[in-house]
């Protein structure tokens, strides 16, 4: 699928996962996003009871996490502006999740590990960060937005949030994390987008088409 087809077929669908609020949460209005992109044209149906996050690769402690286990670790709170590479911005989005730096420390990356690869439950989407990028402040595995579980269209039950980079790096519906010595080409990167997608002032998405 090329970039134009991807953008043209991105749909605004509705629906959310079960409302599993943690004790700290106060429900707020979820910020309005102009688009919820999906590379496959649909949003994965994920059963909260069957969901597992598989963590493997160059780590001393590979393991799986249930959604309950992820919610128990969901302590990091971030208010971040979300930048889509297509040009729109949503200011001051309140996120809750797991510090990726803390999460990786639990897995204990080996000395050979250089990259963290994130796979989506849609079976297609993949992207990665260097270990340095993954450990940067504010980078989280998000479980909640505005005090509520992520919407299905927004990545329920788990998505990556990389506030320093454009949104295509923030993989939705994450169900596998793998540490590797080499960097695979990400889904959007195969269409010519940058692997190091740091937000740039004055960027025009049409320049990429």
Q: Please check the confidence at residue 33 and state whether its pLDDT lies above 50.
A: yes
Q: What is the pLDDT of residues 67-126, one digit of tens each?
A: 999 999 999 999 999 999 999 999 999 999 999 999 999 999 999 999 999 999 999 999
Give 96's contacts (C-beta < 8 A, 6+ positions apart).
Answer: 22, 25, 74, 76, 77, 78, 142, 143, 144, 145, 147
Give the number of domains in the chain. 1
Parent domain of 75:
3-208
- What's the sign of the alpha-carbon dihedral 34, 39, 40, 43? negative
Q: Please check the confidence at residue 166 and state whether its pLDDT lies above 80.
A: yes
Residue 150 DSSP label: P
**Tally of CB atoms within 10 A around 44:** 16
Rounded to the nearest integer, the mean pLDDT of the chain is 87
What CATH code is carried by the domain that includes residue 97? Answer: 3.90.420.10
Q: What is the pLDDT of residues 39-64, one digit of tens each?
A: 999 999 999 999 999 999 999 999 99
17's tokens: 């996962």
d(CA 100, CA 123) in angstroms, rounded, equals: 22
Residues 169-179 have a mean pLDDT of 98
187's tokens: 């889904």
Give 173's contacts (C-beta < 8 A, 6+ positions apart).
Answer: 43, 44, 46, 120, 121, 122, 125, 155, 156, 158, 159
User: Using 50, 70 and 90 to split pLDDT, how confident is the model at 28?
Assistant: confident
């Amino acid at each position: 699928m090329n970039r134009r087809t991807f953008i043209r077929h991105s749909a605004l669908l509705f629906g959310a996962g079960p409302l599993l609020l943690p004790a700290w949460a106060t429900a707020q209005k979820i910020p309005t996003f102009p688009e919820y992109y999906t590379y496959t044209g649909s949003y994965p149906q994920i059963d909260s009871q069957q969901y597992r996050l598989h963590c493997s690769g160059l780590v001393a402690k590979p393991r799986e996490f249930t959604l309950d286990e992820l919610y128990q670790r969901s302590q990091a709170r971030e208010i971040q502006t979300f930048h889509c590479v297509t040009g729109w911005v949503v200011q001051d989005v309140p996120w809750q999740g797991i510090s990726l730096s803390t999460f990786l420390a639990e897995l204990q990356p080996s000395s050979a590990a250089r990259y963290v690869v994130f796979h989506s439950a849609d079976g297609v989407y993949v992207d990665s960060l260097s270990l340095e990028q993954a450990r940067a402040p504010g980078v989280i595995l998000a479980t909640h937005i505005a005090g509520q579980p992520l919407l299905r269209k927004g990545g329920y039950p788990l998505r990556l949030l990389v506030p320093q980079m454009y949104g295509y790096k923030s993989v939705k519906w994450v169900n596998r994390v793998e540490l590797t010595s080499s960097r695979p080409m990400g889904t959007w990167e195969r269409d010519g987008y940058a692997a190091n997608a740091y937000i740039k002032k004055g960027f025009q998405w049409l320049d990429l088409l």
